[in-house]
């Protein structure tokens, strides 16, 4: 299972939120590149970089940070947040993103998102399936939909999506454990490569996600709060 630390960006700084609430913003480092370099030095190969300003603004904002990290590290970066147009997508890839994650765009403009999958391939386009009570949420989790997460994933599986990042919003940033039942349901209902996100607080959480069959696990606050150290992650990389 791939270990994928997350860096969330607001105003150019490394932050974390609780349950996606922007009012709970906590700044952990004012230099995201410094954080990324520390991850790489510990053997980490992958990074989930989220442009929270972009998610709220509905267009890519912090692409310069993506470019800086891509230029100064060898991390394989999945970039998310604010990618709504062909131009946003081009900027992300031009700045060095290995993959991009589309969530809101997959709901609001499925034709365009499906076109991206067809054009760029399922290795480069990830489906973001962020949900609350199994219902998909969009635009930085500020808007709800009437789409069930399993149905949503199945629809895009039929369009050749391979990778899916699923975040249970109620778990995100809470350090209270992961949504194992939800992930088991997704894995038993589909054949996607599932990347679990939200709630990781211990190494046991990561071991459980691996046992369930998740292809990857994203974690952030557990690292920043010292619940899981980079040296501990080094043994799992």
Cα distances (angstroms) measured from residue 14 to each of 17, 25, 34, 224: 10, 10, 10, 10
Q: What domains can be seen in the chain, in order of their start residue?
A: 2-234 (3.20.20.70)
Window from 55-59, 156-160, 189-193 with minimum mean pLDDT? 55-59
| Cα–Cα distance, 163 to 142 (Å, whole number) | 24
Q: What is the mean pLDDT of residues 54-75?
A: 96
Q: Which residues are catalytic?
A: 8, 130
pLDDT at 141: 58
Check pLDDT > 90 for residue 101. yes
Count of positions (residues) in the chain: 237
| pLDDT tens for each residue of 102-132 | 998 999 999 999 999 999 999 999 999 999 8
| pLDDT tens for each residue of 64-73 | 999 999 999 9
3-state DSSP assignment of residue 50: strand
User: 196 and 166 in contact (C-beta within 8 Å)?
Assistant: yes
Check pLDDT > 80 for residue 20. no
Residue 158 contacts by C-beta under 8 Å, 6 or more apart in sequence?
A: none
Work out the percent of the chain whose per-residue pLDDT is above 90: 81
Average pLDDT, the chain: 93
Work out the percent of the chain whose per-residue pLDDT is above 70: 96
Alpha helices in the chain (DSSP H): 32-41, 52-57, 63-72, 86-94, 104-108, 110-120, 149-157, 180-189, 203-212, 221-224, 230-234
Confidence of residue 137 (pLDDT cuts 50, 70, 90): confident
User: 72 and 19 in contact (C-beta within 8 Å)?
Assistant: no
pLDDT at 3: 97
Check pLDDT > 80 for residue 165. yes
Check pLDDT > 80 for residue 58. yes
Check pLDDT > 60 for residue 140. no
């Amino acid at each position: 299972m791939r270990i994928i630390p997350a860096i969330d960006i607001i105003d150019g700084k490394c932050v974390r939120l609780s349950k996606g609430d922007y009012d709970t913003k906590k700044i952990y480092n004012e230099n995201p590149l410094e954080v990324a370099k520390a991850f790489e030095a510990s053997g980490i190969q992958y990074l989930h970089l989220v442009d929270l300003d972009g998610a709220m603004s509905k267009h890519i904002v912090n692409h310069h940070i993506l470019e800086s990290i891509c230029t100064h590290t060898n991390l394989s970066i999945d970039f998310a947040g604010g990618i709504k147009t062909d131009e946003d997508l081009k900027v992300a890839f031009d700045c060095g993103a290995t993959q991009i994650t589309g969530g809101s765009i997959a709901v609001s403009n499925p034709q365009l998102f499906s076109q991206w999958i067809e054009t760029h391939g399922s290795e480069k386009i990830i489906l973001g399936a962020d949900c609350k009570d199994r219902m998909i949420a969009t635009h930085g989790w500020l808007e709800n939909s009437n789409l069930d997460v399993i149905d949503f994933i199945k629809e895009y599986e039929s369009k050749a999506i391979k990778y899916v990042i699923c975040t249970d919003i109620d778990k995100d940033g809470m350090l209270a454990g992961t949504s194992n039942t939800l992930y088991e349901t997704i894995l038993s209902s589909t054949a996607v490569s599932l990347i679990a996100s939200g709630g990781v607080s211990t190494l046991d959480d990561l071991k459980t996600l691996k046992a369930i069959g998740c292809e990857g696990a994203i974690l952030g606050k557990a690292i920043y709060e010292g619940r899981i150290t980079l040296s501990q992650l080094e043994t799992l990389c």
